[in-house]
Chains A and B, each alone.
Chain A
Amino acid sequence: MQVTTPEMDPTPFRRDLLRLEPAGLYCPAGDFFVDPWRPVDTAILTHGHSDHARFGSKRYFAEVSSESILRSRLGKEIDLATKAYGERWKLGNAWVSLHPAGHLLGSAQVRIEVSGRVAVVSGDYKRQSDPTCVPFEVVPCDLFVTESTFGLPVFRWPSPEMVFDSIHRWWRENQTAGRTSLLLAYALGKSQRLLAGLDASIGPICLHGAVHGPTQLYRNQGISLPKTITVSEASKDFDWSQALVLAVPSSQGTPWLRRFGEVSTAMASGWMAIRGTRRRRAVDRGFVMSDHVDWLSLLQTVRETGATTVWVTHGFSNVVARYLREHGLSPGNTVEASPLETQFQGDAEDVEENSSNPEDETRS
């Protein structure tokens, strides 16, 4: 994520609290960055996806349950100090604490307090239920930094129960028709959320190698997930037609798929809500499931934080900022909102894709 400098309110408290630097969001009072995209001295990471957790900083802080994910992605040797949700610590003149963001295991919002003023950088977040991580917590603040990956009113997530019902129906239909059920999803976060909701009594659940790794990390953290088989370890005469195979999107159209015979391909993503993006993906079925907020939850969250200043990043930032500016949160309740423009606006699809790991099995 690359960001150009927005026009910000120059009141001193905010400049001291949080501002945008070429390397990312920076807290001068505490001399640290949140999710910097260049190597810095001190980085606080909201979660382990590769567009937020980047290699090369001298010292990292993150939530304790994200440790194994971060070490597997950034290297075992990184200097990483972990904190529990709600634990307060001091960096320079800033009080810092991490709070659940509900995006994936160990994902956190960063609360920064300087001289009684509070900023919250939410990272990526969602408000829907997800048994694999601690639910989002509203943290009251003056300045709220929100993502806007799905910040258009057409994005309205169906309940996870409904989505799992249709996934299960699709799986059973495929079993009857003798087709392998191939479900594409991002390797870290989405795949484990899916696993936790799948009904393992329907048939065997198999994992692409790139999904297996993060899944083991979840299991080691005590997250209860159904029994799975790694595709490469399945026996020669394995009956794929009864199985649901969970794989990364980049495996689509690769020779790796040959072993499955006839396949019905599905994808679980917020983008599946829109026919055009679904068709471009060329999948048979699209299941609408996202680890980001939809339009209404985004507005609701901003309202609940009580923030009077909102910075909008990552996605439809212009649209969301304009809406907040012009319409506030309720009549007479105005918000100062500005976009922090990313260079590739709205292309969170690519960002998420980069965070999946196409290595190993697709190459073999």
Chain B
Amino acid sequence: MNFAELYRRLDESNKTGEKLSSLVDYFGQAPDDDAAWAVFFLTGRRLPQLAPSRILRSWATEQSKIPDWLFEETYAWVGDLAETMSCILPSSTSSEESSLSEWVERIRQLRGLDESDQRASLNALFDQTSDRDRFPMMKLLTGAMRVGVSQGLVVRALAKISGLSNETIAHRLMGNWEPSAEAYARLVDPDTADADLSRPYPFALANPVEGDIAGLGDANAFLAEWKWDGIRSQLIRRSGTTYLWSRGEERLDGKFPEIEASAAGLAYDCVLDGEILAWKEDQPLPFAELQRRIGRKTIGKKLMQEVPVRFVAFDLLEFNDVDWRSRSQQERRAKLEEVLGTEPGIFRVSEQIYANSWSQLALLRESARERKAEGLMLKRIDSPYQVGRVRGHWWKWKIEPYTIDAVLIYAQRGHGRRAALYTDFTFALWDNGVLVPFAKAYSGLTDHELTEVDRFVRANTQEKFGPVRSVTPHLVMELAFENIQVSNRHKSGVAVRFPRIVRWRHDKTINDADRLEDLKRMISPR
């Protein structure tokens, strides 16, 4: 089975079991260099952009001998550049069966060429690709694979092939995993005494509390902490070097020089799990402030003063080269306090909240919004540190989101699965008799509702601006969001965080929708 066949099977199946066995079949027979690239792409990694989308589009338009506008109309409808190109280009005469690493080799040759050479190379690339292989190869060329396979599933397949545990494979896949035959061999190597100083551990993730909190059992079996909205990170201090990772497995080195400097002063080698927060005057700053620190290439003094940060540590995963993850939450917490101490500084141990009952905790949780926290984290004191989102160990108990009733005024086609439908909406609130847009929301409606809204949008379009349609104001939806702050970059003067649709308010007309001032009133004074 070559990679194109694997891709087809994964793409066509809706069943996890089938996907898993396709992966096992593929990895069981693929040469190491192909397997390495397959791991690379299937775990969501991607090649740096080799040819700009603009060149790909104009090249495909030219090759298929259709006018530009027709290519763009078609692309807008299909919603996926790789697929549009694959379906629109003339059939190939090649029946070559190339391996994945050969593809990657060919695709990489596009790098650094000028436009006319890139076009020539694209022609050659296409001549060498059979119709069957065309679509997956184009996916590699345009970016992410997105074939409905989670990293966890790839891990399970590799664990099955190698006879290793899921945890070992997951851990070996963390960090900068370079796809090569050697790297793949190491990945499935039964000898587990390998080491890479920069490699982080897979993050433990929490499940949301649903229903009655008492269902979790005895409140005293849990450790409670505030849940902050920052950048979840792992700080690795090994052999005198510091590595800072985000949960998205991106290195944050250089973005937070003050954290790295403080880490150099730590008395022990260790791996910490925590949240990086912008913090000023004893309160966290909004997430948008923290984003200013990530966006920059170089972090100047001014920015460091304006947006001071701290690392709020809540777990210790490794101490002096020993993996502590299998020890209990309680033990790890005690060690963390010992390592970081109680001195005020950049490093803080996450504050533990003491309460004897769920009702006490519920009361405290009510104050989360004032503290600029998202709610509470509840962690079983006897639990080891888990890989990923394992139920029953960590819970996030968020405060109820803010909600507001808003009017749908613009719609745009979705992407991927939703490409044929108008599913990306802009919502507005009343301001002196005018509807002012304030948020975009994509998720929250059922497939059935989406089809219904899509039909409404098509039948009630007022104007088209490129891919966007303005729609007769009629539909009212209840939106939820996590946070709200003043913003001069938004027409409405406010920015909301994580807006999503809670429900379609069939019972309300646009006159019942909320006003912008209702929203502004929700902004809590700092």
Residue positions of A touching B, CB distance < 8 A: 152-156, 273-277, 279-280, 282-286, 319, 322-323, 326-327, 343-347, 350
> Which residue in A155, A156, A275, A344 is a CB contact (below 8 Å) of B80?
A275
B417: nearest chain-A partner, CB-CB:
A279
Instruction: Name the interface residues of B1-53: CB closer than 8 Å to any CB of A.
Output: 11-15
Contacts of B11 in A (CB 8 A): 275
Per the 8 Å Cβ criterion, residues 398-432 of B in contact with A are: 416-421
Chain A interface: which of B62-70, B165-173, B189-197, B322-330?
B62-70
> When the two chains form the complex, which single residue of A154, A156, A343 contacts B84, counting CB atoms closer than 8 Å?
A154
Residue in contact with B447 in the complex, picked from A276, A280, A344, CB distance below 8 Å: A280
- Decide: B74 and A153 in contact? CB cutoff 8 A: yes
Asked if A156 contacts B14 (CB within 8 A), the reply is no
Please tell me if B459 contacts chain A, counting CB pairs below 8 Å: yes
Provide 28 A-B residue pairs closer than 8 Å at the C-beta atoms, listed in order of the A residue: A152-B73, A153-B74, A153-B88, A154-B74, A154-B83, A154-B87, A154-B88, A274-B83, A276-B80, A276-B417, A276-B419, A276-B420, A279-B416, A280-B417, A280-B418, A280-B420, A280-B421, A282-B14, A283-B14, A285-B12, A323-B67, A323-B70, A326-B67, A343-B459, A344-B458, A344-B459, A345-B458, A347-B458
The complex places the Cα of A322 from the Cα of B12 at a distance, in Å, of: 35
How far, in angstroms, from A276 to B84 measured CA to CA in the complex? Answer: 11
| B79 within 8 A of partner (CB) | yes
Closest-CB distance, B83 to chain A (whole angstroms): 6
Cα A57 to Cα B14 with chains together (Å)? 46
B14 & A284 in contact (Cβ 8 Å cutoff): yes
Distance in Å: Cβ of B84 to nearest Cβ of chain A: 6
B207 CB to nearest chain A CB (Å):
25
Taking CB atoms, residues of chain A closer than 8 Å to B15 are: 284
Option from A276, A277, A344 in Cβ contact (under 8 Å) with B455: A344
**Given A153-B74, A154-B74, is A276 in contact with B79 using a C-beta cutoff of 8 Å?**
yes
Within the complex, what minimum Cβ distance (angstroms) separates A276 from chain B?
Answer: 4
What count of chain B residues pass the 8 Å CB interface test? 30
Chain A min CB distance to B150 (Å): 16
Q: Is B78 an interface residue (CB 8 A)?
A: yes
The docked-state distance in angstroms from the alpha carbon of A90 to that of B29 is 71
Residues of B within 8 A of A277 (CB): 419-420
Residues of B within 8 A of A350 (CB): 455
Given contacts A274-B83, A275-B11, contact A154 B458 (CB under 8 A): no
Judged by a CB distance under 8 angstroms, whether B77 is at the interface is yes
Determine whether the beta carbon of B83 is less than 8 Å from that of A275. Answer: yes
Chain B positions within 8 Å of A, measured between CB atoms, are 11-15, 64, 66-67, 69-70, 73-74, 77-80, 83-84, 87-88, 416-421, 447, 455, 458-459
**List of 9 A-B pairs having minimum Cβ-Cβ separation, nearest first:** A276-B419, A154-B87, A279-B417, A152-B74, A153-B88, A277-B420, A319-B73, A280-B417, A154-B74
How many angstroms between the C-alpha atoms of A275 and B83 in the bound complex? 8
- A276 nearest in chain B by CB position: B419
Residue of A nearest to B71 (CB): A153
- Given the contacts A274-B420, A276-B79, A327 and B87 also touching, CB distance less than 8 Å: no
Q: Which residues of B contact A322 (CB under 8 A)?
A: 69
Q: Given the complex of chains A and B, what is the CA–CA distance between A343 and B457 in angstroms?
A: 11
Q: Give the chain B neighbours of A276 by CB distance below 8 A.
A: 78-80, 83, 416-420
In the complex, chain B residues whose CB is within 8 Å of the CB of A343? 458-459
Q: Give Cα A343–Cα B78 distance, bound, in whole angstroms.
A: 21
Residues on A with C-beta less than 8 A from B459 are 343-344
**CB-nearest residue of chain A relative to B135?**
A275
Residue of A152, A154, A285 with highest tally of chain B CB at under 10 A: A154
A276-B420, A279-B417 known; A153 and B79 CB under 8 Å? no
Least CB distance, B303 to chain A, in whole angstroms: 42
Centre residue among A275, A277, A282 by max chain B CB count within 10 A: A275
The answer for the CA separation of A277 and B419 in the assembled complex, in Å, is 8
CA distance A145 to B83 in the complex (A): 30
Cα–Cα, bound, A38→B421 (Å):
29
Inside 8 A of B421's CB, which chain A residues have their CB?
A: 280
Max chain A Cβ within 10 angstroms of own Cβ: one of B87, B416, B455:
B87
A156:B87 contact, CB within 8 angstroms: yes
Q: Give the residues in chain A near B67, CB-CB below 8 Å.
A: 323, 326-327
| CB of A339, distance to nearest CB on chain B (Å) | 13
| Bound CA–CA A171/B67 (angstroms) | 41
